[in-house]
């Protein structure tokens, strides 16, 4: 029987994509001067968070000197700092810092993952590499069966999630919805299983945060929106 723990072990040992294996291991050997004393993780990075989460946050891939170094999603780089600060302010994280696997960070009602589990060169995974990794996210979606809201960080995560949601019975219209920061999508389903609400967000990459395309206030709005979506529906006597 597959559990999140057994899936994690499967992900960590994956070597399906030769280009990504070469790159992640090269980065781990050569390192960055700032982190020369670190023992880099240098392997695929599994998801992280609350196994009973109602919120799933999906990013693109581990950063070469972030999660590829620390071994935990959105840990040790600028994107992670932005994301965890916002999640902390919204009450989904136990602290506002994310530096290493033993730093005490806990996620509350939230789970972090990505569409690709190895750091890609230039942060650009190939379509075949996304396809090779799709099974891992597919299994996470099945195991995190209390999920009610999915936040997709960036266009690639948005479109990959929609493809997998269609597999899971979501009635995705054609042409498929366009990615737009702050947009919320609710899909009907072919089965009795309700589909999570999708909230699209720009990725908190330096390319977006340093240019002002994404501000902290904009990211806070995303998680405030998620908070409202997760609020229980009031019962009427």
Domain limits, the chain:
4-230
Provide the residue-wise pLDDT of the chain in tens; the chain has 237 residues.
789 999 999 999 999 999 999 999 999 999 999 999 999 999 999 999 999 999 999 999 999 999 999 999 999 999 999 999 999 999 999 999 999 999 999 999 999 999 999 999 999 999 999 999 999 999 999 999 999 999 999 999 999 999 999 999 999 998 989 999 999 999 999 877 789 999 999 999 999 999 999 999 999 999 999 999 999 755 444
Q: What is the CATH architecture assignment of 4-230? A: 3-Layer(aba) Sandwich (3.40)
Alpha carbons 198 and 186: distance in angstroms, whole number: 7
């Amino acid at each position: 029987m597959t559990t999140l723990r057994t899936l994690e072990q499967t992900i960590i040992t994956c070597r399906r994509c030769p280009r990504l294996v070469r790159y992640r291991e090269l980065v781990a050997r050569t390192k960055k001067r700032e982190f020369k004393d670190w023992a880099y993780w240098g392997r695929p990075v599994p998801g992280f968070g609350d196994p009973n989460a109602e919120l799933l946050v999906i990013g693109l891939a581990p950063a070469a000197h972030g999660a590829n170094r620390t071994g935990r999603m959105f840990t040790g780089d600028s994107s992670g700092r932005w994301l965890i600060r916002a999640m902390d302010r919204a009450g989904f994280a136990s602290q506002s810092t994310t530096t290493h696997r033993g730093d005490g960070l806990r996620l509350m009602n939230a789970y972090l993952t990505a569409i690709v589990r190895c750091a890609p060169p230039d942060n650009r995974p190939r379509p075949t590499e996304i396809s090779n990794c799709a099974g891992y996210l597919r299994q996470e979606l099945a195991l995190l069966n209390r999920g009610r809201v999915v936040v997709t960080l960036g266009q690639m995560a948005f479109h990959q999630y929609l493809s997998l949601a269609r597999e899971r019975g979501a009635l995705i219209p054609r042409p498929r919805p366009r990615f737009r920061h702050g947009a919320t999508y609710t899909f009907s389903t072919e089965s009795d299983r309700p589909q999570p609400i999708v909230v699209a967000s720009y990725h908190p990459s330096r390319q977006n945060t340093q240019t002002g395309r994404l501000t902290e206030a904009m990211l806070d709005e995303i998680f405030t929106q998620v908070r409202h979506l997760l609020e229980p529906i009031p019962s009427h006597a």
